[in-house]
C-alpha cells in the first residue's frame, strides 16, 4: 500500500507510517460559555482517511501526543505551541 499524502504529527513532527495508531483532534466552538472560560471544545477522533485532509484537523501520532495536545489546549486554548503558531501565520 502506498501513501499518497504524508502526514506529520502536529505535536512532535513524526511522519505517519502505515502501522502507527494515529488520532485526530478538532477544535469546535462551545455553544454557551461563561466569561473567562474557554470558548472551544477539544474533540478527539480516531484516524479517518477522508477527514485527515481537512485543514481544521490536527494529526497526532499517539496517546502521548494526544495528552500533550490536550494539555496545551487546557493551558492556552491552542494545540500548537507558541512558536508553531507564529511561524504558520
Cβ distance to Zn ion smaller for residue 30 or 74: 74
Nearest distance from residue 70's CB to Zn ion, in Å? 13
- Count of C-beta atoms within a 10 Å radius of residue 14: 16
Q: Smallest Cα–Cα separation from 9: which of 76, 82, 81, 71?
A: 81
- Figure out which of the listed residues 7, 11, 66, 73 binds Zn ion, where binding follows CB under 5 A: 11
First to last CA, the chain: 34
Decide if residue 9 touches Zn ion (CB under 5 A).
Answer: yes
Which of 65, 66, 69, 79 touches Zn ion by CB under 5 A? 65
Amino acid at each position: 500500500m502506498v501513501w499518497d499524502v504524508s502526514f506529520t504529527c502536529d505535536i512532535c513532527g513524526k511522519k505517519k507510517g502505515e502501522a502507527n495508531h494515529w488520532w485526530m483532534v478538532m477544535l469546535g466552538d462551545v455553544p454557551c460559555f461563561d466569561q473567562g472560560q474557554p470558548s472551544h471544545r477539544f474533540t478527539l477522533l480516531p484516524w479517518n482517511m477522508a477527514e485527515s485532509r481537512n485543514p481544521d484537523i490536527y494529526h497526532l501520532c499517539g496517546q502521548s501526543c494526544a495528552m500533550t495536545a490536550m494539555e496545551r489546549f487546557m493551558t492556552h486554548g491552542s494545540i500548537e505551541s507558541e512558536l508553531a503558531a507564529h511561524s504558520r501565520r
